[in-house]
Amino acid sequence: MTNNAKIDLLKDKIKFLVRHAAEDRVRKHTGQSEFSVIDADDCLPGQVLGNWMSLILITGSALKITLKLHFSHNDIKPLIYPIYRKASAAEISDQQSMDFIKELCNLTAGFIEQVFEHNDISLGISLPLGTRGFYELFSDYTESDYPMIKYHDLWRLSFDELSIFGTVMFEISDPNALENITSYDQENQDEDEDEGEFDFL
C-alpha cells in the first residue's frame, strides 16, 4: 500500500468513527433507534446550519478533532421532553435544549476517546460549549496535505423531519502515531461502551 493510500485509509477510518459515534450516542440517549447519519450534500461547511450550536474538542499529540452540532431549539424540544419527564415540548426551556446537545457532544467525544484508547492512542476532551450558530460563518475549513493534514466532514443526524447537523474538522500532525486506528472495525468492537444516562451539564 502506498503512503498516499495509507493516509486516505486513515482519514476515512477517523471520519467513519466520528459518524458512527454520533449516530450511536444519539440513538442510545434519545431511545430513537431510527436516527441515522446521512450526507448533507445540499449544505456547505462554514454556512449557518442552525440557530445554535455546541462544539467540543478532542485532542492529542497527533490529532485534533473539532466537532460541532448545529440545531434549532424548536426542533430539539419535541424530541427531548420525555427524557426530562415533561408533559409536552412547551415545558422544555432553551437551556434544557442546549444542555441536551452539549451532553450529546460530550458523549460522542467520549465514545471516540474510548476507541482511540483501546488502540493505544491517548486523547483528551474539552468541555462542550454552546453558542449561536451564526458564529459558524467565521470557521475555517480549508483543507491541506502538508505540513498538517486537514480535512472536514459534514453530515446530519436525521429522524423523521428532525435534523441535527454535524460539522467536523480533522487536523492530523503525525499520521504514523495513529496507525493503529486503521485496523478499527466497528463490527468487532466490544459492546461495553459507556451506556450511562445523560448527565446534563
- The string of pLDDT tens digits covering residues 60-79 is 999 999 999 999 999 999 99
* pLDDT of res. 98: 98
- The string of pLDDT tens digits covering residues 5-39 is 999 999 999 999 999 999 999 999 899 999 999 99
- Rounded to whole angstroms, the Cα distance separating 72 from 190 reads 34
pTM more than 0.75: yes
- Rounded to whole angstroms, the Cα distance separating 78 from 74 reads 7
3-state class of 77 per DSSP?
helix
Domains and CATH numbers, the chain: 3-178 (3.40.1550.10)
Which of the residue ranges 101-105, 176-180, 187-191 would you say has the lowest mean pLDDT?
A: 187-191
pLDDT (average), residues 148-161: 96
What band does 188 get if pLDDT is binned at 50, 70 and 90?
low
Q: Quick one: which of 58, 78, 80, 79 has its CA closest to 67?
A: 58
Question: Which positions ≥6 away from 142 have C-beta within 8 Å?
Answer: 150
Type of residue numbered 131: T
pLDDT (average), residues 133-147: 96
